[in-house]
Amino acid sequence: MEDYELFNEKTSAIIYGFQTRAIQRMIDFDYVCKREKPSVAAVIRPTQNDAVAYHKVFFGVKEIIIPVYKSLEMATRNHPEADVMVNFASFRSSYETSKEALESDTIRTVAIIAEGIPERQSRILGKIARERKKMIIGPATVGGIRAGAFKIGNTAGTIENVVLSKLYRPGSVGFVSKSGGMSNEMNFMIAQNSDGVYESIAIGGDRYPGASLIDHLLRYEQNPKIKMLVCLGEIGGTDEYKIVEALKDGRIKKPLVIWVTGTAASILPKGLQFGHAGAMAGSDLETADAKNKALKDIGAIVPKTYDELGDKIKETFDKLKAEGKIDPVDDFEPPKMPIDYAQAVKEGLVRRPTDVVVTISDDRGDVPTYNKKGLDAIIKENQSLGYVIGMLWFKRELPEYAQKYVEMVIKLTADHGPAVSGAHNAIITARAGKDLMSSLASGILTIGPRFGGAISDGAKYFRMAKDSGKTPSEFINYMKRVEKKNIPGIGHRIKSVQNPDVRVVLLKEFVIKNFPKHPYLDYALEVEKLTTSKRNNLILNVDGCIGICFLDLLENADFSPEEKQDIIDSEALNGLFVLGRSIGMMGHIFDQKRQRARLYRQPWDEILYD
């Protein structure tokens, strides 16, 4: 690359600051320019924990990943080919980071976006850049663009603007301004009145920019591909007189169309500052009128007003063209920019079949809903846990007695001591040093047909038996001979007629007292009479009682036969035991962890070695 060039089609940059939108805009620009490789080599995000992470971006329709480093040192070491740093650091840290980049061996150009960098620091940065023959664009700038090659950050705005201003391929005009905002407008104006911009730089509105207007104009002068110069100066400072000098001593020979903004200052109170830190006339020499006059006197093409600027650009360009000095532009239809999916959805341009259907809750609005009821209302109305379970499991506001029943089940099943399968497994797992989730999962995984998980099957078989008109004794025979299995919900390892399970007693009492009717419980108690007459531990157990009484709940609350079937088949009733017993199992896990209990080993004398 020649010294007078800052960027070409292969330029790649390191972006300081995790500016995802600006990064995507740069790569979108690369895509419409038909660059072979994206221009962002790496990103620096000093706040991240890892030395290196990755960020996904689109390059056209394809997704690519860009490394994100914790430090500039790592980024430059891994990407020596990247010779531009676009510095999005805030004004507080921009000085240190820009200095580090200027002092690196690989970074040649630093674009400093931050506004408000102390002038002393800007001057030091400028000095370092001059000494090391490097270029600073900014501070307080949007950056710049080499049409068809490289774009700094958010320069030129949206991709639509880039295309409208024909920035996807180079024209013949070298443009420089102080203002970044005006550079967007000027890129468009130049595209309307010539074959477009070759390079466009906004040096920034501070009093001490890293490089001045003349620095860029002299670069453009040397570049044979640039045929004419356009410059937008600004009230304040004496930078434009350096351009006058260059015109006078012949360092600038190419036609220069220039306008110094701020001519309205003459009708406004003296000393008024125009937006930028440097945009204030401290003396008559610094006024826009004085500068425009000096430039015109020395031969620059200066319009009468800003409104005439476009015409002057056109006249100058047409003249050069008539003289055969303008090479034909290698124009092409820029590739259509794929529209982001989220945007397309917003605009109603695409539709997509969903993969998941959810009918119980929604978290998209301000307030999450449970079965269409706002969580705020649920809390304000002080609804019970039974109510919430009703909404999320059964999609119903359960009647109050049913809510109470659900809560009672959860309380009654919360724990049954450490000896049962679930608690035992959870304890052993916790003592093996495993985490809460693993210990709980290992306990939950024991819940099944013999332990805690007989509720759904109990409901299923008792419902089938009663609804099909089987007598209790026919049901017992059917289970033994046809199904060839123990009746789910009957039998307990330690509870018996003589040692009744108090949980079952409490459940029965509650249901008989509160449920309008309880035909399934009545039926099950008849079955129990027969089974306990055979063996005294073949009682209606806690699983069975929960499931059978739930059949009565569904009956009382007018659930349809199909809904009942779905509730049974989906194992929602076993879910009550899982939910309740998780409370106890977690208690056991915390208990073991609190005690720092040692690894469990089953004593040999509890094992028969045969």
Which residues are at the interface with ligand Q5B (CB under 6 A)?
416, 420, 449-452, 454, 486-493, 531, 535, 537-538, 541-544
Are 391 and 373 spatial neighbours (Cβ–Cβ below 8 Å)?
yes
CA dist list (Å): 449 to 210, 440, 453, 464: 77, 19, 5, 18
* Smallest gap from residue 373 Cβ to ligand Q5B (A): 33
Residue 62 neighbours by CB distance under 10 Å: 9
* Smallest gap from residue 448 Cβ to ligand Q5B (A): 9
* Smallest gap from residue 501 Cβ to ligand Q5B (A): 7
**Pairwise CA distance, residues 228 & 217, whole Å:** 10
**Pairwise CA distance, residues 151 & 12, whole Å:** 10
Q: Which is nearer to ligand Q5B, 7 or 462 (CB)?
A: 462
Which tokens is 291 given? 């500068």
Q: Which is nearer to ligand Q5B, 303 or 422 (CB)?
A: 422
Is-catalytic flag, 276?
yes
In the set 55, 79, 216, 276, the catalytic residue is 276
**Pairwise CA distance, residues 404 & 480, whole Å:** 35
Q: Which is nearer to ligand Q5B, 361 or 532 (CB)?
A: 532
Q: Which is nearer to ligand Q5B, 263 or 486 (CB)?
A: 486
Are 531 and 538 spatial neighbours (Cβ–Cβ below 8 Å)?
yes
* Smallest gap from residue 586 Cβ to ligand Q5B (A): 15
Q: What pairing do the DSSP bridges indicate for beta strands 84-87 and 109-112?
A: parallel
* Smallest gap from residue 539 Cβ to ligand Q5B (A): 9
Please enumerate in sequence order all residues whose Cβ is within 8 A of that of 534, keeping only pairs 6 or more positions apart, or say none: none
Kind and range of the H or E run holding 127: helix 119-131
Q: Which is nearer to ligand Q5B, 218 or 530 (CB)?
A: 530
**Pairwise CA distance, residues 174 & 170, whole Å:** 10
CA-closest candidate to residue 57, choices 40, 32, 33, 78: 40
Which tokens is 15 given? 């972006």
Q: Which is nearer to ligand Q5B, 79 or 492 (CB)?
A: 492
* Smallest gap from residue 479 Cβ to ligand Q5B (A): 7
**Pairwise CA distance, residues 439 & 427, whole Å:** 7
Nearest residue (beta carbon) to ligand Q5B:
491
The values of phi and psi at residue 252, to 5°, are: -110, 120
Structural Rg of the chain based on CA atoms: 40
* Smallest gap from residue 390 Cβ to ligand Q5B (A): 24
Please enumerate in sequence order all residues whose Cβ is within 8 A of that of 302, keeping only pairs 6 or more positions apart, or say none: 257, 258, 259, 292, 295, 296, 312
Q: Which is nearer to ligand Q5B, 113 or 524 (CB)?
A: 524
Catalytic (active-site) positions: 276
